[in-house]
């Protein structure tokens, strides 16, 4: 038995002993503590599983406390049966409250629950005939399980018993199908919906269950106190319950019991403090919250937690499954059976329209996605590709057009209903359930989000088989949040397959994968299609599109541009014009000719010496050493997960380095915060652009200039002029810009800072090739003007002509340093250093 | 988390806990009396006033050798104005502290919640402030609950009568604080009005923390109210008076005693004197011997500068008399047994107290120490509470 | 209900609403920069009033000095709350800051209870002695000042956030604190500043409200909750929406009392909050943001 279990048993023995031997007061307090723990268990379902904060549980407690007495007298039934009836009704009220609560998040949800608490308190006070109003109800009954009412001592024993019974019950719920889905909705609502989870139902169940348990606690508490009035259930009581859960340890089965000990029992020891007790209570709460981040349960399970953590971080790339055993092959064939749709059907979209405000995002788009084939959609950034997937999967509703799926049209079905019908998607930015293990992520989808349906026999084996099917070879028991990028893509794909799709919609599945990984991906997708699934993908990499798909559709500006076989589309002049931007994609270097001799006299700008850092469990870099002169361009190349971004974050100061030294202009940067580095002229253009979406283009540029204390209007105009694309968009919110425009803006923002050294992290990620070319042309100009650049990227054929120095990064280390770029053959370099992975 | 820092955290908690356990402990042979009252929160002043009255009485008793040769000790518990907290505190005092009697505070709901426990455990429970009728009239026999305070139903009759005799009110409007106390008087005032054949213009509620109650008063004015009967504590009562003043409505105000629980005069300003209200005792009236002594104690112990500085005077006065009466009962019973004390309380002779000279204050059927004759109508004159002219 | 009662309810409600709005602005500024709030926002409100009372009535400072120092202390208190009860929790990705701010509030409230005293006090202001009559209702100068101050602060805040350099930095931190750092902005400084501003707003609100209300340790609690409701009702996305949320709540409360009486007023007000949020989850004046995945 683990430490948590031992603690639980010890507490149970102590509580039962106290209940059996204590005086009136002690058993009363014990009863209050036990019922509070029971409320905590109910609240833990919301706080700990679905992640919803309720500040209105005193309201549920009040309902549970009043209903039995009212029901018992109106229906002439015993208090015990009335309590159970009251519990059901309270649960029903909770489920109903979840409907307004479902639509709101965070502080809005808190407000709804606060308001609910006040409504109940005032409602009881105002409904005098039924509740006795402010003067309350006395003479409250007692459950009579054996025909006669329980004695106070027996009642306390019952309360203690129920509070402790809630511990294994909660533990069971947490790992049950419902609990799994609850935790999934907490991590990513949209991903949960994409595998068929009915958010309304799951949330309503969590709310209802939480309320019902609280209602039962209310019935018992009322019986123990024998007097209730609206003032028994003030707002502060709701806060107390949240404290019980937080202090005990949110999401931990034993948490409410431990929390109740601190919040209810401990203050009783200090009742002698009289008026100073609340002050003391405040101090105690503050101290516990500060000192015990995971609550008391976290303290008790601390040793096992850290053990689990180190195991999780141990070499995630290592294959944990026994290699191809007979069992595994068995499982693989099960995966094949699972993936073959009983009734393959494709999807026919006709003339789809979608508007946002005045913007036409999609107009007259007709796409046919037949079963057993791979259909691809390409187009420049902002062409409406993701909008199309959002329409098909039900995330958006269409403003016009029809979607035929099998025999029936889809109508305005909700996203989870479409997922259950077999339309399953993945996301451009991977949406995994980060707190769930890899295996749980996949298993969550096995019942298409249905709570009542049983998982197929040996769901774990099937989930493993599906993971193997998509090429995932990592450990399956670590939290998905700890996975590197590539594995996240694979697990998301496996999860989508687990939902048994008939139509699989993939949003840029190849983004961020190396060329060899993309080859594997194409193979996997082809296999999936062969099972009779209709596969649809959005992709930028033409090589993937060419080798995988049978039909390609092209969108531009929300309108269909072309369609046909990959070869036909690739030859289409309009496509080349729109998508590639130029008929001659070969980059011609206009690199300034700067002799080696010229560089010797140039002072050292940046010196990285043996630097180590880590970003979560992944992205660990070690012993990285790079030297850079002023005015030079250095490239760091490597596949995703090689540690490039970690290095860039470390250099910019967003991440502290744990070993080695970083010297900028000869001065150490240790302990220098990111904003101070920016002021010194070390400026990062971060991965994924990270522009400020709600601010205009001009305001974004102005913000960039903060580092040098602002920018004059004339300088701003000069800066804008560098990026002709941005000039007409100057007052538009940056969030409405296309990906390429955003990248230009991010670059401009970096230049606005007046950098001594500009760091660029994956500047081409997610850009159409034509846009990437344009971007590198701009970088070229900057380099010509003498700006030092440090570029981390994978698209080597663009970077190479520009770079004076090339460092190859792999597995967190610099594996090669190639001075000078002119002599390096890009293809050879790429083969040598990327495809090895 | 390293073991060292873990140990430090535990130690910090431990020190904090130990510091709190070292509160003074009473000797086993002492006679303990308990107080369950609001010591924090909005009504904290009432708990302090009661504490002062009890402490002065207890010190006086102890100076004369205590009761039955034993020292009397006061054990106080904060109920935070919450019935469940009050129940826990009362149970603790009864079961763990083994007190001989419990005094109750200002909150009627808390006292109502304690009543069944007191009767169950045969514990004398004396309300020295809460006026809710159901506290003493609780149907238990024998009844262990006594009161040395006003009783709402009786006060309500007095208020209606005063409104019609003094102001000729024919259509009074009620302004009640939205809590148990307001509700208790809602019932009482309606009944009293019906009995006196007076029609009510309307009943409006005000919140403890209302800033502006003009809309409520405007409703009463439209309904033709010719007097306002106010049941509220000092702060909300003052908000009502300020709204009334701003409306320029010169309507007479007759009030329950709640407004005396704070600095009503300071809160309201010039029109504070417009409210005539009921008291069980006024430190401004010509004091009797006990009154002089208690005032002197208040001045020397608590830095009270004079009658104007006595906050929530009824709490102190009622508590003082109640403790003295309890002392007499314990002496008479020659025991601290609850049942014996109850019988002795119901059979007390005469006691020259602070509020009045009590003659057979309680009987088996009447547990009210004070009667309507003991109520005085007063008003503010600056900071002084003086009998109405 | 006659016209006079309706008119006075409008005036009362608008005044009350501006007070809610003013306090609610304190929630808005910190929420905007850090997605956190001092949940015990009633405490700096109370501190403002209590300190002005103490400085003025006990230490006999001139009113301007008392107010200035009180607001400064409220601002410092805001920063203290952020430093001790918010930042440590945010740093470890915990949402317990909400509870921690409540704990700090509880501590301060009880400390004030023991130092300032238990009974509510009345704060005099010359501004309540002058005024004018409006349809039989006397409007004091202070009652005019509060909405004016509320609207002025809202306007200034709105301008600062929208158009000034500080506002740009503030919005940058709000939208993406990590990237804001890359723009040479120190997010902790901005967040700390926003908490100072938040504390100061609450202090100003407390000082303005005190003469109309009563000064006590517990005076801020209900105001804090109502103001939170106002902020949420308005949709916590902008200074004006928060202020309008406050006015809407104040008007609703007063009009419910005027129409249906005070018995069910509280009940109806809170039911309305739930209904509004159920119908418009982004608040009355919030701006819908198209979700993207």
Q: Among the CATH numbers 1.20.120, 2.40.160, 2.40.50, 1.10.3470, which is that of C3-279?
A: 1.10.3470
pLDDT tens figures, B323-345: 999 999 999 999 999 999 999 99
pLDDT tens digits along A549-567: 999 998 887 888 889 998 8
Residue A398 has pLDDT above 50, yes or no: yes
Position A795 scores a pLDDT of 63
Instruction: Please write down the HEC assignment for all residues of A621-677.
Output: EEEEEEEEECCCEEEEECCCCCCHHHHHHHHHCCCCCCEEEEEECCEECCCCCHHHH
Residue C196 near residue C182, CB atoms below 8 Å: no
- What pLDDT is recorded for position C20? 92
In a shared domain, residues A86 and A214: yes
pLDDT of residue A381: 63
pLDDT top residue among B153 and A639: B153
Strand B357-359, strand B350-352: pairing: antiparallel
pLDDT at B4 over 60: no
A111 with C94: Cβ contact below 8 A: no
Which of A383-387, A538-542, A583-587, A712-716 bottoms out in mean pLDDT, i.e. has the lowest?
Answer: A583-587
Q: Is residue A450 part of a domain?
A: no
Do A350 and A225 have their domain in common? no
Q: Phi first, then psi: give them for residue B366, nearest 5 degrees.
A: -125, 110
Mean pLDDT of A502-509: 91
List, edge to edge, every strand of the sheet that includes B125-127. Answer: B72-78, B31-37, B101-104, B125-127, B145-147
pLDDT higher than threshold 90 for residue C189: yes
Residue in B345, B374, B355 with CA at minimum distance from that of residue B118: B345
Phi, psi of C234 (to 5 degrees): -70, -25
Residue A586 belongs to a domain: no
Q: Which of A216-230, A758-772, B359-373, C93-107 has the lowest mean pLDDT?
A: A758-772
How far, in Å, CA of A82 to CA of A75, rounded?
9
**Cβ C181–A356 below 8 Å, yes or no?**
no
Could you tell me if residue A148 is inside a domain?
yes
The neighbouring-strand residues paired with A814 are A809
CA dist., res. C23 & res. C32, Å (int): 15
Nearest chain C Cα distance for residue B290, angstroms: 26
Chain C contact for B271, CB < 8 A? Answer: no
Side-chain half-sphere exposure of A247, counting CA atoms within 13 A: 28
pLDDT of residue A322 exceeding 50: no
Q: Is B7 on the interface with A (CB under 8 A)?
A: no
Q: Which of A580, A613, A641 is the last residue of a domain?
A: A580
Residues A144 and A199 in one domain: yes
Q: Which of A23, A128, A225 sits opposite B113 (nearest CB)?
A: A225
Q: Which residues of C touch B (CB under 8 A)?
A: 1-2, 4-5, 8-9, 11-13, 15-16, 19, 110, 113, 118-122, 124, 133, 136-140, 209, 212-214, 216, 218-219, 221-223, 254-255, 257-258, 261-263, 265-266
Residues of C in contact with A235 (CB under 8 A): 225
Q: Is there a domain that residue A423 lies in?
A: yes
Q: Where are the alpha helices (DSSP H) in A176-301?
A: 177-187, 189-194, 199-225, 235-248, 255-260, 266-269, 277-291, 295-300
Q: Would A633 be classed as within a structural domain?
A: yes
Position C289 scores a pLDDT of 60
Residue A255 lies in a domain: yes
A284 vs A583, which has greater pLDDT? Answer: A284
Tell whether A692 and A823 lie within a shared domain: yes
Please tell me the distance from the alpha carbon of residue A451 to that of residue A454, in angstroms, as a whole number.
8
Q: How far is CA C167 from CA A372, A695, A702, C237, in A?
A: 54, 11, 12, 14
* Residues A27, A20: Cα–Cα separation, whole Å: 8
Q: Which residue would you say has higher pLDDT here, A452 or B364? A: B364
pLDDT at site B2: 45
Contact B264, B294 (CB under 8 A): no
Asked if residue A359 and residue A291 are part of one domain, the reply reads no
Q: How far apart are alpha carbons B184 and B187 in whole angstroms?
A: 6
What percent of chain B stands above pLDDT 70?
A: 93
Using one digit for the tens of pLDDT, what is the confidence trace for B207-224? 888 888 988 999 999 999
Residues of A in Cβ contact (< 8 Å) with B98: none
CA A547, A552, A558, A561 torsion-angle sign: positive
Distance CA C71, CA C57 (A): 17
Higher-confidence residue of A800 and C99: namely C99
For chain B, which domains are there? Answer: 31-150+288-372 (3.40.50.2300), 153-279 (3.40.50.2300)
Q: What is the pLDDT of residues A31-81, one digit of tens each?
A: 999 999 999 999 999 999 998 889 999 999 999 999 999 999 899 899 999
Same domain, A12 and A116: yes
| Closest to B117 in 3D by CA, of A573, A88, A224, A261 | A224
d(C-alpha B196, C-alpha B276), whole Å: 20
- Paired with C245 in beta bridges are none
C261 vs C62: which has the higher pLDDT: C62
Distance, CA of A444 to CA of A181 (rounded, Å): 6
In tens, the pLDDT along B251-266 reads 999 999 888 877 888 8
For residue range A413-447, list pLDDT tens digits in order. Answer: 788 888 888 899 999 878 899 989 999 999 999 98
Distances (CA, A) of B326 to B124, B344, B361: 9, 9, 11
Is residue A769 scored above 50 in pLDDT? yes
Chain B contacts of A292, Cβ < 8 Å?
9
Q: Residue A274 contacts by C-beta under 8 Å, 6 or more apart in sequence? A: B39, B76, B77, B78
pLDDT given for residue A39 in this prediction: 97
* Interface contacts (A, C; CB < 8 Å): 185
The 3-state DSSP class for residue B226 equals coil
Q: Are C209 and C146 in contact (CB under 8 A)?
A: yes
Q: Does residue A599 have a pLDDT over 60?
A: no
pLDDT of A171 over the 50 cut: yes
- Shortest distance between the Cα of A203 and any Cα of chain C, in A, equals 15
pLDDT higher than 50, residue A313: no
Is residue A309 over pLDDT 60?
Answer: no
Residue range C107-128: mean pLDDT, rounded: 88
Instruction: Please check whether residues A299 and A157 belong to one and the same domain.
Output: yes
Distance from CA of A647 to the nearest CA of C (A): 15
pLDDT band at C249 (very low <50, low <70, confident <90, very high): very high
Please give the order of strands across the beta sheet that includes A347-356: A359-369, A347-356, A400-405, A408-409
Query: Which of the two residues, C219 and A4, has the higher pLDDT score?
Result: C219
Q: Which pLDDT score is estimated for A597?
A: 40
The percentage of residues in chain A with a pLDDT greater than 90, rounded to a whole number, is 39
- Residue positions counted in chain A: 837
What's the CATH number where A362 sits? 3.40.50.300
CA distance C204 to chain A (A): 24
- Average pLDDT on A570-585 reads 61
Do A298 and A341 fall into the same domain? no
Closest-CA distance, C272 to chain A, in angstroms, reads 9
CA dist A232 and A437 (Å) reads 42
Tell how strand B376-381 and strand B275-279 pair up. antiparallel
Buried b (16+ CB within 10 A) or exposed e, A406-440: beeebeebebbbbbbbbbbbbbbebbbbebbbbbb
Q: What's the whole-number average pLDDT of chain A? A: 84
Average pLDDT of the segment spanning B72-101: 92
Give the neighbours of chain B: at least 3 Cβ pairs within 8 Å.
Answer: A, C
Q: Which of A505-514, A744-753, C111-120 has the highest mean pLDDT?
A: A744-753
Same domain, A626 and A571: no
Lowest mean pLDDT among A611-620, A686-695, C47-56, C244-253: A611-620
Residue B292 · residue B298 · CB < 8 Å: no
Would the CB atoms of B183 and A302 count as touching at under 8 Å? Answer: no
Report CB contact under 8 Å: C31, A107. yes
Taking the C-alpha atoms of residue C219 and residue C206, their distance in angstroms, rounded to an integer, is 9
Around Cβ A325, how many Cβ atoms within 10 Å?
10
Under the banding of pLDDT at 50, 70 and 90, the label for residue A108 is confident
Residue A460 lies in a domain: no
Provide the number of structural domains found in chain A. Answer: 3
> Regarding predicted confidence, which is higher, C35 or B285?
C35
Maximum CA extent, chain A: 102
Query: Domain check: are A284 and A339 in the same one?
Result: no
8 A C-beta contact, residue A608 and residue A651: yes
User: Average pLDDT over chain C, rounded to whole?
Assistant: 89
pLDDT tens for each residue of A459-480: 888 999 999 988 888 899 999 9
Q: What is the DSSP letter of A422?
A: T
% of chain A surpassing 70 pLDDT = 88
Q: Do A271 and A401 fall within a single domain?
A: no
Q: What is the CA angle A262-A265-A269, rounded to 5?
A: 105
**Dihedral sign of CA atoms A495, A499, A500, A501 in order:** negative
Query: Which residue from A637, A660, A640, A641 is spatially nearest to A650, judged by alpha carbons?
Result: A660
Residues of B in contact with A283 (CB under 8 A): 16
- CB interface of B with A, residues 327-356, below 8 Å: none
Determine contact, residues B225/C111, Cβ cutoff 8 Å.
Answer: no
Q: Would you give the distance in Å from CA A547 to the centre of its chain? A: 32
Instruction: Give me the domain span that covers residue A808.
Output: 605-833
Is A5 in the B-facing interface, judged by CB distances under 8 Å? no
Cβ pair B178:C5 closer than 8 A:
no
The DSSP letter of residue C54 is I
| Sign of CA pseudo-dihedral A621, A622, A628, A632 | negative
Contact B175, B216 (CB under 8 A): yes
Does residue A267 belong to the interface with chain B, where contact is any CB pair within 8 Å?
no
Give the strand pairing for B172-177 and B125-127. unpaired
pLDDT, average across residues B90-112: 93
B121 shares contact with chain A (CB less than 8 Å): yes
> How far is Cα A322 from Cα A427, in angstroms, rounded to an integer?
30
CA nearest A390: which of A432, A366, A423? A423
Residue A198 sits in a domain of what CATH number? 1.10.3470
A831 vs A176, higher pLDDT: A176
Within 10 A of C115 (CB to CB), how many other CB atoms are there? Answer: 10
- Gap between the Cα atoms of C197 and C191, Å rounded: 10
- Rounded CA separation A265/A287 (Å): 17
- The band of A320, judged by pLDDT with boundaries at 50, 70 and 90, is very low
pLDDT band, residue C288 (cuts 50/70/90): low
Same domain, A58 and A198: yes
For C137, which of B42, B203, B246 is closest by C-beta distance? Answer: B246
pLDDT at residue A825, as a whole number:
60
B153 touches chain A (CB under 8 A): no
């Amino acid at each position: 038995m683990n430490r948590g279990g031992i603690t639980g048993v010890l507490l149970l023995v102590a509580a039962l002993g106290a209940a059996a031997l204590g005086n009136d007061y002690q058993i009363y307090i014990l009863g209050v503590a036990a019922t509070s723990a029971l409320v905590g268990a109910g609240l833990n379902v919301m706080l700990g599983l679905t992640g919803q904060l309720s500040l209105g549980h005193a309201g549920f407690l009040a309902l549970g406390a009043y209903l039995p007495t009212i029901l018992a007298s109106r229906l002439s039934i015993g208090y015990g049966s009335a309590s159970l009836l009251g519990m059901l009704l309270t649960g029903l009220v909770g489920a109903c409250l979840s409907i307004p609560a479902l639509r709101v998040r965070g502080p809005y949800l808190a407000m709804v629950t606060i308001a609910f608490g006040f409504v109940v308190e005032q409602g009881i006070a105002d409904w005098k005939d039924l509740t006795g109003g402010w003067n309350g109800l006395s003479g409250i009954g007692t459950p009579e399980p054996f025909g006669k009412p329980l004695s106070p001592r027996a009642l306390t024993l019952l309360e203690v018993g129920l509070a402790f019974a809630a511990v294994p019950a909660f533990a069971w719920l947490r790992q049950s199908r419902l609990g799994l889905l609850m935790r999934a909705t907490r991590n990513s609502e949209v991903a949960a919906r994409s595998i068929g989870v009915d958010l309304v139902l799951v949330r309503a169940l969590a709310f209802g269950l939480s309320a019902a348990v609280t209602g039962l606690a209310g019935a018992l508490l009322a019986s123990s106190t024998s007097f209730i009035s609206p003032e028994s259930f003030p707002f502060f009581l709701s806060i107390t319950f949240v404290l019980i859960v937080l202090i005990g340890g949110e999401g931990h089965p034993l948490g409410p019991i431990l929390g109740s000990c601190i919040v209810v029992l401990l203050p009783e020891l200090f009742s002698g403090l009289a008026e100073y007790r609340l002050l003391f209570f405040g101090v105690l709460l503050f101290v516990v919250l500060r000192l015990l981040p995971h609550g008391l349960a976290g303290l008790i399970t601390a040793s096992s937690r850290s053990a689990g953590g180190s195991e999780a971080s141990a070499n995630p790339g290592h294959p944990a499954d026994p290699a191809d055993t007979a069992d595994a092959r068995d499982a693989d064939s099960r995966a094949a059976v699972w993936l073959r749709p009983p009734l393959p059907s494709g999807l026919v979209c006709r003339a789809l329209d979608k508007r946002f405000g005045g913007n036409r995002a999609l107009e007259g788009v007709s796409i046919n996605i037949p079963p057993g084939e791979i259909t691809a959609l390409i187009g420049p950034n902002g062409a409406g590709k993701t909008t199309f997937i959002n329409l098909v999967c039900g995330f958006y509703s269409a403003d016009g057009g029809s979607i035929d799926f099998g025999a029936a049209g889809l109508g305005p079905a909700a996203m989870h209903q479409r997922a259950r019908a077999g339309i399953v998607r993945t996301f451009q930015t991977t949406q995994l359930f980060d707190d769930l293990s890899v295996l749980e992520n996949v298993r969550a989808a096995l019942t298409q989000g249905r709570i009542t349906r049983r998982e197929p026999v040996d769901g774990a084996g099937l989930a493993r088989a599906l993971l193997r099917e998509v090429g995932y070879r990592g450990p399956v028991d670590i939290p998905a949040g700890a996975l590197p990028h590539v594995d996240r893509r694979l697990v998301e794909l496996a999860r989508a397959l687990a939902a048994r799709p008939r139509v699989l919609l993939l949003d840029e599945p190849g983004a961020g994968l190396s060329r060899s990984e993309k080859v594997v991906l194409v193979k996997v997708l082809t296999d999936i299609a062969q099972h009779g699934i209709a596969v649809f993908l959005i992709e930028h990499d033409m090589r993937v599109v060419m080798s995988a798909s049978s039909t390609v559709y092209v969108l531009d500006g929300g309108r269909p541009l072309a369609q046909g076989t990959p070869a036909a589309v690739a030859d289409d002049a309009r496509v080349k014009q729109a998508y590639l931007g130029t008929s001659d994609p070969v980059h011609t270097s206009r690199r300034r000719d700067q002799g080696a001799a010229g560089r010797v006299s140039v002072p050292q700008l940046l010196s990285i010496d043996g630097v180590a850092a880590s970003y979560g469990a992944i992205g660990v870099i070690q012993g990285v050493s790079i030297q850079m002169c002023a005015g030079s361009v250095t490239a760091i190349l490597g596949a995703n997960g090689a540690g490039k971004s970690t290095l860039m974050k470390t250099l910019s100061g967003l991440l502290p380095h744990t070993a080695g030294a970083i010297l900028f202009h000869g001065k150490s940067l240790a302990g220098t915060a990111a904003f101070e580095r920016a002021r010194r002229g070390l400026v990062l253009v971060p991965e994924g652009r990270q522009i400020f979406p709600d601010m205009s283009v001009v305001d974004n540029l102005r913000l960039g200039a903060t580092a040098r204390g602002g920018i004059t209007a004339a300088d701003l105009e000069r800066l804008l002029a560098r990026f002709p694309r941005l000039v007409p968009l100057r007052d538009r919110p940056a969030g409405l810009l296309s990906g390429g425009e955003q990248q230009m803006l991010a670059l401009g923002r970096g230049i606005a800072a007046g950098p001594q050294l500009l760091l660029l992290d994956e500047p081409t990620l997610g850009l159409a090739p034509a846009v990437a070319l344009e971007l590198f042309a701009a970088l070229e100009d900057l380099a010509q003007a003498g700006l030092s650049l440090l570029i981390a990227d994978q698209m080597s054929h663009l970077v190479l002509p520009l770079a004076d120095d090339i460092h190859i990064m792999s597995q967190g280390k610099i594996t090669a340093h190639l001075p000078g770029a002119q002599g390096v053959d890009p293809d050879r370099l790429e083969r040598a250093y990327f495809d090895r992975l | 988390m390293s073991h060292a820092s873990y140990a430090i955290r535990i130690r910090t908690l431990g020190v904090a806990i130990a510091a709190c356990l070292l509160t003074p402990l009473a000797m086993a042979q002492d006679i303990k009396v308990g107080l369950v009252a609001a010591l924090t929160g909005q009504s904290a002043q009432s708990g302090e006033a009661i504490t002062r009255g009890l402490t002065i009485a207890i010190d006086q008793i102890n100076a004369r050798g205590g009761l039955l040769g034993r020292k009397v000790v006061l054990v106080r518990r904060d109920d935070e104005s919450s019935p469940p907290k009050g129940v826990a505190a009362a149970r603790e005092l009864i079961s763990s502290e083994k007190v001989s009697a419990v005094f109750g505070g200002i909150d009627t709901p808390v006292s109502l919640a304690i009543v069944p426990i007191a009767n169950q455990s045969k514990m004398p429970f004396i309300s020295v402030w809460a006026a809710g009728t159901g506290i003493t009239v609780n149907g238990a026999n024998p009844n262990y609950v006594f009161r040395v305070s006003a009783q709402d139903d009786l006060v309500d009759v007095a208020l209606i009568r005063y409104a019609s005799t003094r102001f000729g009110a024919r259509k009074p409007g009620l302004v009640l604080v939205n809590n148990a106390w307001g509700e208790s008087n809602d019932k009482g005032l309606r009944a009293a009005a019906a009995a006196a054949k007076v029609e009510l213009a309307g009943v409006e509620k005000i919140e403890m923390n209302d800033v502006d109650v003009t809309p409520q008063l405007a409703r009463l004015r439209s309904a033709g109210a010719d007097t306002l009967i106010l049941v509220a504590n000092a702060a909300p009562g003052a908000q009502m008076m300020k709204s009334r003043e701003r409306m320029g409505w010169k309507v007479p105000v007759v009030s329950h005693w709640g407004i005396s629980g704070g600095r009503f005069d300071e809160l309201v300003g010039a029109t504070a004197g417009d409210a005539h209200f009921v008291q069980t005792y006024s430190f401004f009236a010509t004091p009797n011997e006990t009154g002089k002594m208690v005032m002197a104690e208040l001045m020397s112990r608590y830095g009270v500068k004079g009658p104007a500085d006595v906050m929530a005077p009824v709490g102190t006065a009622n508590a003082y008399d109640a403790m003295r009466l309890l002392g007499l009962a314990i002496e008479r019973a020659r025991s601290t047994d609850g049942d014996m004390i109850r019988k002795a309380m119901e059979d007390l002779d005469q006691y020259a107290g602070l509020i009045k000279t009590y003659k057979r204050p309680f009987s088996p059927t009447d547990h009210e120490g004070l009667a309507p004759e003991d109520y005085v109508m007063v008003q503010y004159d600056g900071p002084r509470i003086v009998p109405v002219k | 209900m006659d016209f006079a009662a309706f008119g006075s309810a409008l005036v009362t409600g608008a005044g009350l609403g501006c007070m809610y709005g003013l306090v609610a602005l304190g929630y808005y500024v910190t929420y905007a920069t850090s997605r956190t709030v001092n949940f015990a926002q009633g405490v700096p409100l109370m501190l403002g009033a209590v300190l002005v009372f103490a400085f003025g009535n006990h230490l006999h400072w001139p009113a301007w000095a008392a107010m200035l120092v009180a607001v400064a202390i409220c601002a410092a208190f805001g920063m203290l709350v952020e430093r001790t009860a918010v930042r440590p929790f945010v740093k470890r990705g915990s949402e317990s800051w909400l509870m921690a701010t409540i704990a700090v509030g509880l501590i301060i409230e009880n400390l004030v209870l023991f130092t300032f005293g238990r009974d509510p006090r009345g704060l005099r202001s010359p501004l309540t002695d002058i005024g004018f009559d409006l349809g039989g209702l006397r409007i004091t100068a202070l009652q005019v000042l509060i909405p004016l101050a509320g609207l002025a602060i809202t306007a200034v805040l709105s301008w600062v956030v929208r158009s000034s350099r500080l506002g740009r930095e503030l919005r940058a931190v709000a939208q993406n604190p990590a990237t804001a750092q890359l723009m040479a902005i120190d997010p902790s400084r901005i967040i700390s500043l926003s908490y100072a501003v938040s504390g100061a707003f609450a202090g100003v609100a407390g000082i303005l409200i005190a003469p109309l209300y009563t000064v006590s340790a517990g005076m801020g609690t209900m105001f804090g909750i109502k103001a939170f409701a106002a902020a949420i009702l308005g949709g916590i996305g902008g200074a004006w929406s928060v202020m309008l949320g406050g006015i809407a709540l104040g008007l609703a409360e007063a009009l419910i009392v005027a129409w249906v009486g005070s018995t069910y007023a509280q009940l109806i007000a809170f039911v309305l909050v739930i209904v509004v949020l159920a119908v418009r989850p982004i608040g009355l004046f919030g701006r819908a943001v198209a979700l993207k995945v």
